[in-house]
Amino acid sequence: MPVSNGSDERAGSGRMVVEPKEIQARIERSIPGTKAQVEGADAHFSAVVVSGAFEGKSRVEQHRMIYDLFKHEMENQTIHALALQTRTPSEAARG
């Protein structure tokens, strides 16, 4: 399912536009108890994601959990880049 609202395309690109709030909502909806902050535009985004679901997982496993949510959008370049910072709640509390 595309993240895009379905009506917004970049002029001449043929690519659907994704908004940071849509990425944030999918992350938070897909991994219960997760909080995400997402910034970016033009298919290049960065996200800070805090989740208890990351406990006991390597950083690579944590990132894979997020990237798997956007596999289709990354394959079709709706999302070209998604830089991640993932943290457990205890890591986030330490700063």
Average pLDDT on 9-23 reads 73
Both tokens assigned to 26: 């999918």
pLDDT band at 95 (very low <50, low <70, confident <90, very high): confident
User: What is the structure's pLDDT at 71?
Assistant: 96
Mean pLDDT of 22-31: 98
CA distance 71 to 53: 19
Q: What percent of the chain has pLDDT over 90?
A: 81
SS3 sequence, the chain?
CCCCCCCCECCCCCCECCCHHHHHHHHHHHCCCCEEEEEEECCEEEEEEECHHHCCCCHHHHHHHHHHHHHHHHHCCCCCEEEEEEECHHHHHHC
63 pLDDT tier (thresholds 50, 70, 90): very high
- What pLDDT was estimated at residue 16? 80
**Domain 20-94 classified CATH 3.30.300.90?**
yes
